[in-house]
Amino acid sequence: MWETFKELIFRFLFEIEAVVGDWGMAIIVLTVLVRLVLMPLTIKQTKSMYELQRIQPKMKELQAKYKDDKEKLQEETLKFYQENKVNPFSGCLPMLLQMPILFALYQVLGGTEAKPGTLIKYLAAQGEIGTFYFLIPNIAKTPAQIFAAEGLLASIPYLLLVALFAVSVWLPQALMPGDKQQKMIGAYMAVVMLFFGWSAPAGVLLYWDVSSIWGIGQQQLTMAYLKRKSPEEEAVVTKAPSSKGDKPEKKRGKSS
């Protein structure tokens, strides 16, 4: 099953490359197509993250109120999520759906000398090298390999891909409203990604970087829309009814 999926990724890249004439551009086209398919889910993910931050003050109230009763806190938290139509786990799905593609691409482009990836074997048979125009001379090589074989100057394009890889992990968290702890976690993850990116094929880094740039842009556009929409949704603010059964009152605008 997994071998079939890897072959499908290779065949898809092969067909795109036949049209665009460049393996790096084929990866970018694949990335855009994946992002378009996932767009409804990623927009929902951003909305959920935004709502989680918007209701954070109320969540802290619940945590303070039921700090000595964890079972009741869990019950009230789930109830609160349902009432506000917020799913704290919705952000995981788009990432999980992309992981098989990322790992398959890693194995298609990478591998070892004893067991090279599908694209490596194909290019070797054709006597070709997979490039991203003049920017990346070999999309199958890792930054570590280029640095060791050709030195710092030749590895600069690859190092930029690694830097973008790390920034792409940190920046979405930094741009989202949230507490400092979440932002610190994002910073630590970015450092970890530097080590992972150092040994990843350039084509995999290209896929991730383009996907992240798309995701950050989409996130900011969605957040801007939600922020404009929020004042309209919260224009009517109610206060708790009194014991006499008074009805909630609408918050009036400032008098002129």
Q: Which residues, including other chains, have CB under 8 Å from residue 34's CB and lie 6 or more apart?
A: 98, 101, 211
Where residue 111 falls (left for φ over 0; alpha for ψ -120 to 50; beta otherwise) is left
Each residue's pLDDT tens digit, 40-66:
888 887 777 777 777 777 777 777 777
Spatial CB neighbours of 63, under 8 Å, sequence gap ≥ 6: 73
pLDDT for the residue 177? 59
Helix (H, G, I), strand (E, B) or coil at 246: coil
| DSSP code, position 255 | P
Strand partners, 111: 116
Give residue 239's pLDDT.
Answer: 37
Please determine, for residue 252, whether its predicted confidence score (pLDDT) is greater than 60: no
pLDDT at 245 over 70: no
Is 235 a residue whose pLDDT tops 50?
no
CA distances from 251 to 22, 238, 247, 248, 255 (A): 60, 7, 13, 9, 12
Mean pLDDT of 226-239: 54
Name the band, by pLDDT with cuts 50, 70 and 90, for residue 92. Answer: low
In this structure, the number of other CB atoms found within 10 A of the CB of residue 116 comes to 18
Instruction: Enter the pTM of the model.
Output: 0.75
pLDDT of residue 36: 92
Check residue 246 and give its pLDDT.
47
Give the pLDDT confidence score for residue 234 in this predicted structure: 46
Q: Which residues contact 224 (CB under 8 A, 6 or more apart)?
A: none
Closest of 149, 165, 101, 122 to residue 23, by C-alpha: 122
What pLDDT digit, counting tens, does each position of 129-181 carry? 888 888 898 888 889 988 998 888 888 999 999 988 888 777 776 666 555 66
